[in-house]
Structure 1
Amino acid sequence: MSFASLGLIDPLLRNVQDLNYQTPTPVQAKAIPAVLSGKDVMAAAQTGTGKTAGFALPLLQRLVQHGPAVSSNRARVLVLVPTRELAEQVLQSFIDYGKGLDLRFLAAYGGVSINPQMMKLRKGVDVLVATPGRLLDLNRQNAVQFDQVQTLVLDEADRMLDLGFARELNAVFAALPVQRQTLLFSATFTDDIRAMAAGILRDPLNISVSPPNATASKIRQWVVTVDKKNKPDLFMHLVAENNWRHALVFVKTRNGVDYLAAMLDEAGYAVDTIHGDKPQPARLRALERFKTGEVQMLVATDVAARGLDIDDLPLVINVDLPIVAQDYVHRIGRTGRAGASGVAVSLVCADEAPQLAAIEALIRQTLRREEEPGFEAEHRVPQTSATGEIIRKPKKPKKSRVPHAAPRDMQVLSKKPRPQSGENQPKLAAQCAVAVGKGTSLVGGSPFSVQKPRSKPAGKPTAGSRKPAGKPAGGRGKRQS
């Protein structure tokens, strides 16, 4: 099958050829004819299967062939996405596919000034790619009206619900024309997604190019069990031991991102970061540096899990498991794209057993476990199953409080204490004195540490301190004469 056989016009075929697209992917082969015919579509497709081209190419053709020119402060195609990064990526796809078609495109999202977006909307745009919150802001200020919208696209619909955009999405749906085409694309299909689809789609064509919630078959996945406090040292050990030179690293918190970036920087790796507190221009620069190879390691929170279009990414490392199981699918979807092979490694501690069980239930497989010598977990990670069950071993019977003494001639010297997990490994964290990012200090303690400061009882003075206020200093509370 060729793109020409799908009914695309010559300008689009030339652009596809310039991008070195050889044959349509399964989702493109099914979606393009349906979108061209004006049908609603509900598609389940893994990240990296070419779904953006599956809706962008036919929509560009419909914009050229059908409907009046766009008016001021209007849009003809509205694409809703969950994050800024994905908005930029989808916008670039429309620009690349629509080269030479004399159409106007715009991405609108928060975190940057709204004024330039309002100025560009004055002439109207053919395709508006937007996050739900910023779209409603523009609508409230009359910068964009919806009466000319012909097609609504929901890209990464599950992620939008995960991020709490349900109310904003309902507000957008209510403001759109009833007579429109609606396309819904999602990597996973939850009950909430199906309920939303039932309310906005009319007799849709259902497309599924992979089992729901599946991960790419060519991604090799496994977990390494470890205590939480030893995750940074194990991470650096694995990077050095396996000679990993290009990887996307996911961490739960901004402090964790900056901490690991500091360790990598100190070890001589070219590293950059992406997290929610970083300005959008800086995030885009970090992504571009990573894609061009200028940066070897990109350390990110889940804000970067969607919208990262990176060719030939060999490795994803989950230093922390995501809270939401679906995010695991989208994290590792950055590798093994479009049939390529990839590796996804997750460092898992005992506290993350519920997340691990939820992930295995979602992807319907039990992930292989490994232990790294010298980093064996003292707090064992309970066994889990593909049904989401946590299998806890029965507790050992308690020993007698007063053990019977052995005969004197049978007593032996006690064994040397066993070294703590990770004791023989280089203390990489302690060697790093300079942190990447804003004011991160490795000396002040690791964000991966589980130790908590012990609080002192209220009202009791510490040794050597002054007496509490209100008590006389020279006696037992008797009045001084």
Structure 2
Amino acid sequence: MTEQTIVDFRALGLAEPLLKAIEESGYTTPTPIQAQAIPLALQHMDLMAGAQTGTGKTAAFSLPILHTLLPLASTSTSPAKHPIRALVLAPTRELAIQVYDNIKTYAKHTALRSTVVYGGVDIKTQTPILKTGVEILVATPGRLLDHVEQKTLSLNQVQFLVLDEADRMLDMGFMPDLKRILALLPKQRQNLMFSATFSDEIKKLADAFLNNPTLIEVARSNATNDNVEQKAFLVNTDQKQRFLVQLLKQYPNQQVIVFTKTKLSASKLARALERDQVPCSAIHGDKSQKERIEALDAFKAGTIHALVATDVAARGLDITDLPLVVNYEISTAPEDYVHRIGRTGRAGAKGIAISLIDEDETKYFDEIEKLIKKQIPKEKANVSSSTTPTRSRPSKASSGKDAWFEQPYQPAAATAAPKAVTAKSAANVKRKVVAALLGGFGFKATPQNRTQAKRTTGRSKQKSDLPAQQPAENAAETANIES
């Protein structure tokens, strides 16, 4: 479908309360995806829409839904007057929250209610809002099914179903949950599917729940934003951290999202950057929702320089004027690259995407270039040795030094012979040992404890398997220690 030339939201035919909210948000001209999707959605058509991340997809589906539901809006306090009429499914908590915030902004001059439910928080805190009734529900699939099982909501009056970031839902294994949810919805409904990338799996999903959908693509499928300058550096794995710190120092006043493949590597990298005096935090699936929100708020407020994130956690992060993203680890899924660099260069702004590639990741980056049909310039990383001072660990020999260990080797003949042990000194040693066994020289000897001492020294002699002359040597050593 050719792109429609629409230069003003009023030309879309939206209701006045929605236009007022749009103007208050500072928007005047619809984006290409909004200009194409909104008129078709208002005609109750199923849509399969593809657009790059950050092009205004949320408004493209939420504005026509709000417009259509306005006649059903009610100021009644009865929950029966506010059934769930629109269901928006998102793959992650962050994206669900972002979509809900946008819908709430667009609907602020209407009586339509909305809420969001997601995992990671106590389900009991979400139940009271659902019981009061909402027309629009934004949810992650797993938490939605939790509420269905607890009978805290009903989906039998849903008129609109939206799948946002459908490709990520499939990547995260939500297909079984999606099938269960689809079985709970009325057959007659309007379906809208939005995705930044299209794959064969996405097309199969579209065939499963869309009815004669209209395909909308405002840019070539799986393309990257032309506003984003893409760079790549070839760097060894053991030098990546040092080079990353070097890069961040080149952008001291700009915020950056650093992408890793796993939760473990995200946590380790965040701790390492903190040690290198880089204010940062990590955001990934093992973090509680409270920790994730706090980290995101601190990043948006500018109190931390870098946010280390996994692909799942970063999906849905909407940060204004984010100038830089860094692919610290290259994902094995080429589509993830498109989503990662889509965090920058949003809404027409300029952005930079830098990838750090080690030898093992070269094959993954080749697949990325095939997907986006673009060669990304690469250069060998010039890693400064002074960027991160190395911390020398003391050797075992130098820790707890003993002067004896520092002396050069001497043959046994060159060593001084031990002093001869006289019978008198041996007797003194024996007397000291016996005295120590009896409790010290202040101990008063009695016939009874003398007998006990003899038994003790007798047992010691029986246990010893040393040569005959060694007890004299040991006695001499004991005399030297105690003197």
Which interval holds the TM-score relative to the shorter structure?
0.7 to 0.9
Change over 3 Å in CA distance of 1:99–1:174 after alignment to 2? same
Aligned to 1:117: 126
Cα shift at 1:425: 4.0
Of 272, 275, 278, which residue of structure 2 is paired with 1:266?
275
Q: How far apart, CA to CA, are the structure 2 residues paired with 1:128 and 1:333? A: 26
Q: How many residues align?
A: 385
Secondary structure (helix, strand or coil) at the match of 2:299 reads helix
Change over 3 Å in CA distance of 1:16–1:73 after alignment to 2? closer
Deviations 1:287-319 (A, max 9, x none): 122122222211111123311111111000111
Q: How far apart, CA to CA, are the structure 1 residues paired with 2:197 and 2:390? A: 38
Misfit runs of 4+, over 4 Å: 66-70, 241-244, 428-431
Q: How far apart, CA to CA, are the structure 2 residues paired with 1:190 and 1:362? A: 11
Cα shift at 1:262: 2.7
Of 215, 218, 226, which residue of structure 1 is paired with 2:227?
218
Contact 2:260 2:308 in 1 (8 A): yes
Cα shift at 1:27: 0.6
Aligned to 1:464: none
Amino acid across the alignment from 1:167: P
Of 5, 8, 11, which residue of structure 2 is paired with 1:5?
11
Change over 3 Å in CA distance of 1:429–1:213 after alignment to 2? farther
Q: How far apart, CA to CA, are the structure 2 residues paired with 1:125 and 1:67? A: 10
Matches for 1:202-351 after TM superposition, within 5 Å: 202-241=211-250, 243=252, 245-351=254-360
Secondary structure (helix, strand or coil) at the match of 1:185 reads strand
Aligned to 2:366: 357
Aligned to 1:97: 106
1:151 aligns with 2:157: no
Aligned to 2:206: 197
Cα shift at 1:244: 6.1
Aligned to 2:476: none
Q: How far apart, CA to CA, are the structure 2 residues paired with 1:259 and 1:146? A: 42
Moved more, 277-286 or 267-276: 267-276
Amino acid across the alignment from 1:8: L
Matches for 1:46-85 after TM superposition, within 5 Å: 46-66=52-72, 71=80, 74-85=83-94
Contact 1:305 1:327 in 2 (8 A): no
1:367 aligns with 2:365: no
Q: 5+ residue gaps in structure 2? A: 1-6, 393-464, 466-483
Cα shift at 1:157: 0.2
Deviations 1:232-265 (A, max 9, x none): 1111122224546311111223332233323332
Deviations 1:85-140 (A, max 9, x none): 00000000011111121221111111111112222211221111111111111112
Q: How far apart, CA to CA, are the structure 2 residues paired with 1:259 and 1:199? A: 41
Q: How far apart, CA to CA, are the structure 2 residues paired with 1:15 and 1:241? A: 40
Contact 2:82 2:113 in 1 (8 A): no
Deviations 1:10-68 (A, max 9, x none): 11111101100020011111111111221111100001101101111111111112588
Q: Percent sequence identity over matched residues? A: 46
Deviations 1:132-166 (A, max 9, x none): 11111111221122111000000000000000001
1:182 aligns with 2:191: yes
Matches for 1:464-479 after TM superposition, within 5 Å: none
Amino acid across the alignment from 2:140: T
1:108 aligns with 2:114: no
Contact 2:73 2:110 in 1 (8 A): no
Q: TM-score, normalised by structure 2?
A: 0.76
Cα shift at 1:364: 1.1
Amino acid across the alignment from 1:29: A
Q: 5+ residue gaps in structure 1? A: 376-421, 432-473, 475-481
Aligned to 2:431: none
Q: How far apart, CA to CA, are the structure 2 residues paired with 1:303 and 1:59? A: 27
Change over 3 Å in CA distance of 1:71–1:261 after alignment to 2? same
Q: How far apart, CA to CA, are the structure 1 residues paired with 2:339 and 2:292? A: 19
Aligned to 1:479: none
Amino acid across the alignment from 2:85: R
Of 171, 174, 177, which residue of structure 2 is paired with 1:168?
177
Change over 3 Å in CA distance of 1:428–1:161 after alignment to 2? farther
1:140 aligns with 2:149: yes
Secondary structure (helix, strand or coil) at the match of 2:343 reads coil
Q: How far apart, CA to CA, are the structure 2 residues paired with 1:227 and 1:213? A: 29
Q: How far apart, CA to CA, are the structure 2 residues paired with 1:265 and 1:245? A: 17
Amino acid across the alignment from 1:81: A
Q: How far apart, CA to CA, are the structure 2 residues paired with 1:222 and 1:94? A: 35
CA RMSD between the two structures: 2.1
Of 13, 21, 26, which residue of structure 1 is paired with 2:32?
26
Bigger Rg, structure 1 or 2: 2
Secondary structure (helix, strand or coil) at the match of 2:96 reads helix
Name the structure where helix makes up a greater proportion of residues: 2
